[in-house]
Amino acid sequence: MCELLAMSANVPTDIVFSFTGLAERGGVTGPHVDGWGITFYEGKGSRTFKDARPSSESHVASLIKSYPIKSEVVVSHIRQANRGGVCLENTHPFTRELWGKYWTYAHNGQLSDYQQKFQVSRYQPVGDTDSELAFCWILQKVVDHFGDEEPEDLTVVYRFIATLADEIRVLGVFNMILTDGDNLMSYCSNNLCYITRRAPFGKAKLIDTDVVIDFDKETTPNDIVTVIATRPLTDNEDWHILAPGDWKLFHKGERVIDHFATNVAADTASQE
């Protein structure tokens, strides 16, 4: 399957360190060789880089590892294809406009018997993955439920999206990252974790390559940065492991919704 990476921060922050670890999993320490992508938000705008080549071999990925783009919200993905060919249109993250905002999404997992459920009209997939069609369906359902005007409180929208994710998870594995450029949602089906770094900062060492960073020298005492990943990226820090059905909503690095599945045993059984 694929692997996810995302970041929410209270100040513009680069993701060079974490992405350097993730990129190694695209062909060196992991089998995710079917493309990669990353989206950075800057205000209401965003910039996306994608490549159908493995991240460990991509010159574009080398640029991301060496060029510290500052952002408060980042979504990234490395792909191991199971639905759809290896090509740019099937490469995550996917982005669509809703309520005058760019919404960005990435998915890890595989779904079955989904075509009948995912009926869409306003939002159409460009590629032929289950992931992109699920994203279009989510946005379609959001518009059907809330209409063309953005609610004042977007947390109600994310709570609604969580119920949709619960429905999708019945069809298979559905680990998801979703953002409107301000809030960042992580939904766990079977593998997802996060870490929130704040003062006092220390050193961190990547698992997948011999890179160490001293965050105390790279940050201010007021910085708050949350990193979400499929699997922990460092081996000397305590990552929070999400259970099946858990989901979190982050804003400027802080958790604003901390939802735990009510029946972990039943949720786990649904994945077997």
**10 Å Cβ neighbour count for 132?**
25
Dump pLDDT digits (tens) for 78-88.
Answer: 999 888 899 99
Q: What is the DSSP letter of 208?
A: S
* pTM assigned to the model: 0.94
The mean pLDDT value for 55-64 works out to 96
- The pLDDT assigned to 263 comes to 55
Map tokens 């990226």 to a residue.
233
Per-residue pLDDT at 266 exceeds 80: no
- Residue 144 neighbours by CB under 8 Å, 6+ apart: none
Per-residue pLDDT at 70 exceeds 70: yes
- What CATH number corresponds to the domain at position 118? 3.60.20.10
Per-residue pLDDT at 137 exceeds 70: yes
- Residue 90 neighbours by CB under 8 Å, 6+ apart: 35, 79, 81, 84, 127, 128, 129, 132
- The pLDDT assigned to 84 comes to 84
b/e 246-265 (16+ beta carbons within 10 angstroms → b): bbbbbbbbeeeeebebeeee
The whole-angstrom separation of Cα 228 and Cα 250 is: 10
- Residue 160 neighbours by CB under 8 Å, 6+ apart: 141, 142, 145, 146
Dump pLDDT digits (tens) for 160-182.
Answer: 999 999 999 999 999 999 999 99
Dump pLDDT digits (tens) for 86-125.
Answer: 999 999 999 999 999 999 999 999 999 998 899 999 999 9
Given 2, 87, 136, 188, which residue is catalytic? 2
- The pLDDT assigned to 255 comes to 97
Dump pLDDT digits (tens) for 193-246.
Answer: 999 999 999 999 999 999 999 999 999 999 999 999 999 999 999 999 999 999
CB 114 within 8 A of CB 171: yes
Q: Is 87 a catalytic residue?
A: no
Per-residue pLDDT at 27 exceeds 90: yes
Confidence grade of residue 267 (pLDDT, cut at 50, 70, 90)? very low
The whole-angstrom separation of Cα 6 and Cα 74 is: 5
Domain of 18, in residue numbers:
3-270
Map tokens 């060079």 to a residue.
16
Dihedral sign from CA coordinates of 143, 37, 32, 210? negative
- 237, burial (CB in 10 Å: exposed 0-12, middle 13-18, buried 19+): middle
The whole-angstrom separation of Cα 54 and Cα 2 is: 12
Number of domains in the chain: 1
Dump pLDDT digits (tens) for 41-54.
Answer: 999 999 999 999 99
